Structure 1
Amino acid sequence: MHFRRVSRTEDSSPCPIPGLAADVLHMRVKEGSKIRNLLRFATASMQGEGKDGNGTSLRQVVFSGSGRGVTKTITCVEILKRKVGGLHQVSKLHYKTVNEVWESPQQGEAGVTMQRTVPAICILLSKDPLDPQAPGYQPPQTLSVPTEDIERRRALLRPIITQFSFLGSLTP
């Protein structure tokens, strides 16, 4: 009941995306990772501030996370796609095995070792085109707002504008 976790280890399964370049930047996102720190480094690397050995900016970055870090991984990817723009994406889901060792603070009680299977995600972002037939592929986002979105926003704002239109007729 009052056990505390002593250690946690994950299996070191390789990224499920085949054919990754050797110079790909691999960002491992954990539950306690700070998004601003991850994005500062990844953005600088993709925009050319972080040069590789040849003096060129990186063309690909892989974000991976497991367990409670999956949502933070997806958040990082979506923000980076908006900041850098024109990035192709391939996402792969898989499972990882996590071993946790728990011990009791009371003397004489045996510790507990648990083995759990947790979901994991691996997302490749690339400036270079990727295979559009690959499962999990997403093309680069277009930055223009579709006209139906503009019309929908105007329709939502009309009641608000008419509701406050009487303010213009009031004189101080």
Structure 2
Amino acid sequence: MKHWTIREVEDSPCPFPGLLPGVLEMRVKEGSKIRNLMGFAMARMQCEAGSSGQASLRQVVFTGSGRAVTKTITCAEIMKRKMGGLHQLTKVRYKSVREVWESQEGGDGEMTVHRTVPSISILLSKDPLDPLEPGYQPPETQTALWEEREGNDGLHQAGKRPFDHIAIQSETQPKRFCP
């Protein structure tokens, strides 16, 4: 029985030309823990200039491909909600990956597979970005978030709480089934 190991060879230049020097590049992998990624990125973006000898960063890029795309988006959304006021630029593309499978038993057992996988890069910046660039999203204000959640149906009136308009069916009521 042959045992195989894999090594990936990939080439992925940064899709954002002209980034500030010292931008934080977070490479999100399928097995990455969101807590670890966010702890590191938030600490670097929130540190004050001069404290702990590091300057506060102005930009961070989260990049992930394949099964890590959703985790990459989650990291960017968490940072936007926690920090607020961040401009966003998103680039989606496909990237070619060459996988070389080698036999651990030696010999001539080698197989190469070429795959194309989706990839996403999300730039978050404290400084304004070009609003005409495809993939740009302006910062959301906290009031805009609440207005969006409340809608225009008068929930913001005094004495009304969000979700008061939702009727909850009791377990004691009979359930209807359509034939």
TM (normalized to structure 1)? 0.79
Q: 2:93, 2:119 within 8 Å by CA — same for their partners in 1? A: yes
Q: Is residue 67 of structure 1 aligned with residue 66 of structure 2? A: yes
- CA separation of 1:54 and 1:109: change in aligned 2, threshold 3 A: closer
RMSD of Structure 2 on Structure 1 (CA): 2.9
State yes or no: 1:148 paired with 2:140.
no
What secondary structure sits across from 1:155 in the alignment?
A: coil
Aligned pairs (5 A) from 1:80-91? 80-91=79-90
1:148 maps to amino acid: G
Percent identity (aligned): 57
CA distance in 1, matches of 2:24, 2:106: 46
2:91 matches 1:92: yes
Secondary structure (helix, strand or coil) at the match of 2:151 reads helix
Contact 1:25 1:62 in 2 (8 A): yes
Distance, in Å, in 2 between the alignment partners of 1:52 and 1:124 is 25
Letter of the aligned partner of 1:17 in structure 2? F
* Aligned-partner Cα distance in 2 for 1:28–1:52: 25
For residues 117 and 69 of structure 2, the distance between their equivalents in structure 1, rounded to whole angstroms, comes to 10
Tell me which residue corresponds to 2:10. Answer: 10
| Bigger fraction of residues in helix | 1
1:141 alignment partner, SS class: coil
Q: How far is the alpha carbon of 1:21 from its aligned partner?
A: 1.1
1:79-136 CA-to-partner distances (Å, cap 9, x unmatched) read 1111111100000012222111224578877321111111111110001111111100
Give the distance between the partners of 1:116 and 1:78, measured in 2 at CA: 28
Matched with 1:114 is 113
How many residue pairs get aligned? The number is 160
Q: In structure 1, list runs of 5 or more residues that go unmatched.
A: 165-172
| Unaligned ranges ≥5, structure 2 | 156-161, 172-179
Q: Distance in 2 between matches of 1:59 and 1:107?
A: 49
Secondary structure of the 1:41 match is: helix
Q: Are the equivalent residues in 1 in contact too, given 2:8–2:98 (CA < 8 A)?
A: yes
Counterpart position of 1:31: 30
Note the 1:159-170 alignment, pairs <5 A. 159-160=167-168
The 8 Å contact of residues 58 and 127 in structure 2, kept in 1 or not, is answered as yes
Which AA in structure 1 matches 2:165? A
1:141 Cα deviation from its structure 2 partner: 1.6
- Asked if 2 retains the 8 angstrom alpha-carbon contact of 1:45 and 1:51, the reply is no
Inter-CA distance 94–3: structure 2 relative to 1 (3 Å threshold)? farther
